[in-house]
Amino acid sequence: MQASPEFQELRSRLRRFVFPMTGFFLTWYFTYVLLATYAHDFMATKVLGNINIGLILGLGQFVTTFAITAIYVRFANRELDPRSSAIREELEGTAK
């Protein structure tokens, strides 16, 4: 099964999504950590009242996490699940 073209395509689609998204998030996360560590004055810049850039970027980490999760669920539902169901049906002998 793992050598089948359908399964290889499924793995390829997953990797084409996961690796760039992981790279994006890790870059965003480590940028935040580095700014918090080395750019204290920048992160302490007040934007509105007591809300500073550090707080906004920190909350942005949560927003980004939820957004990536939502994007992945949509991608999996549209791209991965139909293909994996077809592979499973073929293996079980219930393909339509």
25-51 pLDDT tens trace:
999 999 999 999 999 999 999 999 999
How far apart are the C-alpha atoms of 77 and 86, rounded to whole Å?
13
64-95 pLDDT tens trace:
999 999 999 999 999 999 999 988 888 888 76
CB 21 within 8 A of CB 72: yes
Q: Beta-carbon neighbour count of residue 53 at 10 Å?
A: 16
Q: Can you give the pTM of this predicted structure?
A: 0.82
Q: What are phi and psi of 52, to 5 degrees?
A: -115, 175
Closest by CA position to 58, among listed 72, 70, 71, 44: 44
pLDDT at residue number 96? 60
